[in-house]
Amino acid sequence: MRMAIEILQLLVQSADSWLFEGNRSGLSDREWMALRFLARANRFSRTPTALASFLSTNRSAASQIVAVLQNKGLVVRKPSAEDKRSIALCVTGEGETLLERDPINALRDQIVALEVPDRSQLRDTLRRVLIGLDVAERRYHPGVCSQCMFLVESGEGKDHHFKCRLFRKSIDQKEMTLLCTYFEGRSGKG
């Protein structure tokens, strides 16, 4: 139990890099979370509804955050290529530049400095803990296409391609590492 309490305290201390009062580089912690998500989200998840789900808030609150990001020139609204009735939230070049100064980068850099086996163990352990929490709370969090049960791979050579069974759309290789709020882990994990 004592070690568990120590680990919790260390996690709380590390959270200071992404949960904070006030502003850092002109954005609140929730605005940073939204900007990070939109920069890593796939085309199906760059919507106000998906953002609200990611932030665990309602669509109205997510829209207010988007309005702030839009007023700062960090995000633009574009008609969705998937559904013309919807909009896609896209990070601008200015938003990408600001992400280079993201307060969470200091924590990322410390994780990158770990040996590969330590990084892998940390990732896998945190994933198991979070999956346990999600199951207990009946929540789901975004994941990447490459680990999703909806991903279908077919063909060989030049004809090799990926498809999302949920959306019935092709998935580019570059999209395989982007976040999706519709993610369902394989084997019931996720």
Residue 105 belongs to some domain of the structure: no
Q: Are residues 49 and 88 in the same domain?
A: yes
Residue 108 lies in a domain: no
Asked if residue 136 has pLDDT above 60, the reply is: no
Domain that holds residue 160: 114-188
Asked whether residue 107 is domain-assigned, the answer is: no
Residue 138 — pLDDT band, cuts 50, 70, 90?
low
Q: Give mean pLDDT, residues 175-181.
A: 86
pLDDT (tens digit per residue) in 156-165:
777 778 888 8
**Position of tokens 């998906």?**
50
Closest CA to 34 of 157, 181, 139: 181
Model pLDDT, residue 189:
45
DSSP code per residue over 36-69:
HHHHHB-TTT-SHHHHHHHHTS-HHHHHHHHHHH
Residue 117 is predicted with a pLDDT of 94
Q: Record the pTM.
A: 0.80
Phi and psi, residue 101, nearest 5° = -105, 20
pLDDT, one tens digit per residue, over 28-85 is: 999 999 999 999 999 989 999 999 989 989 999 999 999 999 999 999 999 877 777 8
| pLDDT for 188 beyond 60 | no
Asked if 81 and 122 sit in the same domain, the reply is no
Q: How many domains does the chain have?
A: 2
Q: Looking at the structure, do residues 47 and 85 belong to the same domain, yes or no?
A: yes
> Cα dihedral sign for 86, 81, 147, 112?
negative
Instruction: Give the CATH number, domain containing residue 76.
Output: 1.10.10.10
